């Protein structure tokens, strides 16, 4: 079945955790390079009105002052306050939004493959016709696909 889109609840800066950061990163009104940069940042620390992020070294080549400023503006708009944002390139202390998306996609794909493999009708077809399952053709249902 399709998964409904996730609703992101706004949290205060002081309540921000690495897991909630992934939700915030995905919900920020950003596009292009700034979107890619923020999705590849992990939360390092929150101290008062200061937010410290770590950008994955492998994704740092496009990081620049323009992208940083767009990210800062989006964070100001999201939290409704002026906050100090530090983005440092380094070793990630937690999962990024991009890494989480890859992990969840892989988990959904593994579940879809398992569901097909364990379906009694598929097992019957495989047994009766010496069929093979084309695992490359299996994909999880996407949210809003209408295929339910």
Mapped onto helix, strand or coil, the DSSP state of residue 33 is: helix
Q: Is the dihedral of CA 17, 20, 26, 30 positive or negative?
A: negative
Q: pTM of the predicted model, to two decimals? A: 0.79
pLDDT band at 6 (very low <50, low <70, confident <90, very high): low
What per-residue confidence (pLDDT) applies to 141? 81
pLDDT at 8 over 90: no
Per-position DSSP letters for 104-132, written without gaps between them: HHHHHHHHHHHHHHT-HHHHHHHHHHT--
Q: At what angle do helices 97-117 and 32-39 cross, to 10 degrees?
A: 80
CA angle 90, 8, 105 (to 5 degrees): 65
What is the bridge-based pairing of β-strands 41-47 and 84-90? unpaired
Contact between 34 and 67 (Cβ < 8 Å): yes
Instruction: Report pLDDT digits (tens) over 17-72.
Output: 998 999 999 999 999 999 999 999 999 999 999 999 999 999 999 999 999 999 99
Instruction: Report pLDDT digits (tens) over 88-137.
Output: 999 999 999 999 999 999 999 999 999 999 999 999 999 999 889 999 99
- Tell me what percent of the chain is helix, strand and coil, each rounded to the nearest 5: 50, 15, 35
- The radius of gyration of the chain's CA atoms, rounded to the nearest angstrom, is 20
**Cα 148 from Cα 100, distance rounded (Å):** 25
What per-residue confidence (pLDDT) applies to 143? 60
What per-residue confidence (pLDDT) applies to 147? 42
In degrees and rounded to multiples of 5, residue 85 shows phi and psi of -120, 125
């Amino acid at each position: 079945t399709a998964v409904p889109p996730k609703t992101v609840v706004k949290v205060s800066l002081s309540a921000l955790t690495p897991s909630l950061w992934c939700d915030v990163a995905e919900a920020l009104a950003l596009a292009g390079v700034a979107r890619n940069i923020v999705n590849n940042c992990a939360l390092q620390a929150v101290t008062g009105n200061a937010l410290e992020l770590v950008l994955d070294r492998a994704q740092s080549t496009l990081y620049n002052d323009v992208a940083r400023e767009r990210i800062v503006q989006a964070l100001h708009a999201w939290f409704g306050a002026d906050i100090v944002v530090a983005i440092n390139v380094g070793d990630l202390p937690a999962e990024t939004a991009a890494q989480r998306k890859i992990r969840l996609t892989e988990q959904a794909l593994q579940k879809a493959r398992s569901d097909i493999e364990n379906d009694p009708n598929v097992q019957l077809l495989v047994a009766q016709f010496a069929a093979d399952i084309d695992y490359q053709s299996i994909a999880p249902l996407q949210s809003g696909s209408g295929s339910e």
